[in-house]
Each structure stands twice: as C-alpha cells, then as structure tokens.
Amino acid sequence: MQVRVLVRLKPGVLDPQGRAVHHALEGMGFEGVGDVRIGRLIELDLADGTDHDTIKAMCEKLLANTVIESFTIEGAD
C-alpha cells in the first residue's frame, strides 16, 4: 500500500526557506503571494494492512519532529 505523509512546520515556527522563496517569487514579478511555507512529502510503500497506529508511530518517532512539525497521513486505510 502506498501512503503519503505530509510534514509541515507548525504555525508560528519561522520558515526562513519559505521566506526566501517568497522573496524570490516576488523578485520574479509574481504578484499576490501572501506567504510561502515549505514542508516535506514522504512516500511510503508499506505492507498491505499496515495499521494506522504503526504509521502514526513512524511519524512521531522519526518522520516528523513534533516539537516543530505537524504531519498528516494520506492513503492509509
């Protein structure tokens, strides 16, 4: 089974990368860019039937640092 984990910086955590990209977009002439936040997409190929709690544990223990990041799991049953 294919599972996608989206890891994002929590609101309020400074994202200097996002800020730099935001600045670059404006410099390229793109208008109306309110904010840019950069996260990470992790694709997992897991054994069928892997339960949600196991995937959640993977996220909490390694894939995301829950001090600064939140995560959502997509594609799990």
Partner 1 sequence: MAFRAAVITFPGSNCDRDMATALEAVSGVPAIRVWHGDAELPERLDLIALPGGFSYGDYLRSGAMAATSPIMRAVIAAAERGVPVLGVCNGFQVLTEARLLPGALLRNAGQRFVCKTVALTVEGTASPFMAGYTAGETIRIPVAHHDGNYFADADTLDRLEGEGRVAFRYAEACNGSARDIAGVLSANGRVLGMMPHPERAIEPAAVTALGGEDGRRLFAGFLESLVRA
Residues of this chain that bind partner 1 (CB under 8 A) = 13-14, 16-17, 19-20, 62-63, 65, 67-68
Q: Which is nearer to partner 1, 32 or 42 (CB)?
A: 42
Q: Which of 68, 50, 59, 64 is nearest to 2 (CA)?
A: 50
- Kindly provide the b/e burial profile for residues 33-64, where b requires at least 16 CB atoms within 10 angstroms of the residue's own CB: eeebeebeebebeeeeeeeeeebeebbeeebb
Q: How far is the CB of 56 from partner 1 (least distance, A)?
A: 17
Q: Which is nearer to partner 1, 14 or 47 (CB)?
A: 14
Q: Which is nearer to partner 1, 3 or 63 (CB)?
A: 63
Q: How far is the CB of 68 from partner 1 (least distance, A)?
A: 5
Phi then psi for residue 19, to 5 deg, are -65, -40
Q: How far is the CB of 33 from partner 1 (least distance, A)?
A: 18
